[in-house]
Amino acid sequence: MTRITPENPASCPTIVIAPDAFKSTATAQQAAQWLSDGVASVTPHAHVITSPMADGGEGTSALFDGELITLPTTDAAGRLTEASYTFDAASATAYIDVAAASGLPKVADHPVATTGDTFGTGVLIADAETRGARRIVMGLGGSATVDGGTGILVALGVNPLNSAGYSLNPGGAALIDLADFDTAKVNIPAASVDWVLLADALVPATGPDGAAAVFGPQKGASEADVDALDRALARLCEVTGVDGSTPGFGAAGAIPVGLHWLSRLLHGNDDHVQVLPGAQVVAEASGLAARLAGADFVITGEGRCDSQTAKGKVVSVVIDAARRSDANPAVAVVSGEFRAPLPEGVTAVTLDELGDDVGVQEQLTRAGARAAEAYLRISTAQG
> Do the domains 61-279 and 9-51+287-381 match in fold?
no
List phi, psi (to 5°) of 34: -70, -40
Average pLDDT over residues 352-367: 79
Average pLDDT over residues 325-343: 94
CA-to-CA separations, 241 to 198, 235, 244, 253, in angstroms, rounded = 22, 10, 9, 17
Closest residue by Cα to residue 55 from 338, 312, 286: 312
Q: What is the CATH number of domain 61-279?
A: 3.90.1510.10
| 58: pLDDT strictly greater than 70 | yes
CB-CB contact of 289 with 321 (8 Å)? yes
Mean residue pLDDT of the chain comes to 93
CB-CB contact of 172 with 231 (8 Å)? no
The secondary structure element, H or E, covering residue 48 is strand 47-50
Average pLDDT over residues 308-320: 90
pLDDT for the residue 57: 87
Average pLDDT over residues 132-158: 97
CB-CB contact of 350 with 302 (8 Å)? no
Residues 91 and 180: their CA atoms lie apart, in Å, by 35
Listed by start position, the domains of the chain span: 9-51+287-381, 61-279
Amino acid type, 185: K
What CATH number does domain 9-51+287-381 carry, 3.40.50.10350, 3.40.50.300, 2.60.120.10, 3.50.50.60? Answer: 3.40.50.10350
pLDDT for the residue 263: 98
List, edge to edge, every strand of the sheet that includes 67-74.
67-74, 80-88, 93-97, 135-139, 194-199, 273-277
Average pLDDT over residues 304-312: 85
| 95: pLDDT strictly greater than 70 | yes
Percent residues over pLDDT 70 in the chain: 95
Residues 312 and 295: their CA atoms lie apart, in Å, by 22
- Tell which wins on pLDDT, 326 or 353: 326
pLDDT for the residue 380: 72
DSSP states along 144-190 = ---STTHHHHHHTT-EEE-TTSPBPPSSSGGGGG--EEE-TT--HHH
CB-CB contact of 96 with 85 (8 Å)? yes
Average pLDDT over residues 282-297: 95
DSSP states along 332-379 = EEEES-B-SPPPTTPEEEEPP---TTS-HHHHHHHHHHHHHHHHHHHH
H helical segments located in the chain: 28-42, 98-102, 119-130, 150-155, 188-191, 211-215, 223-240, 251-267, 278-286, 288-292, 314-324, 360-381
| 365: pLDDT strictly greater than 80 | yes
CB-CB contact of 40 with 365 (8 Å)? no
Q: pLDDT tens, 238-274?
A: 999 999 999 999 999 999 999 999 999 999 999 999 9
pLDDT for the residue 382: 60
Q: The whole model's pTM is what?
A: 0.89
SS3 state of residue 52 = coil
pLDDT band at residue 357 under the 50/70/90 scheme: low
Average pLDDT over residues 64-73: 97
Residue 341 CB partners (closer than 8 Å, separation 6+): none
**Structural Rg of the chain based on CA atoms:** 22
pLDDT for the residue 309: 86
Q: pLDDT tens, 165-184?
A: 999 999 999 999 999 999 99
Q: pLDDT tens, 185-241?
A: 999 999 999 999 999 888 999 999 999 999 999 999 999 999 999 999 999 999 999
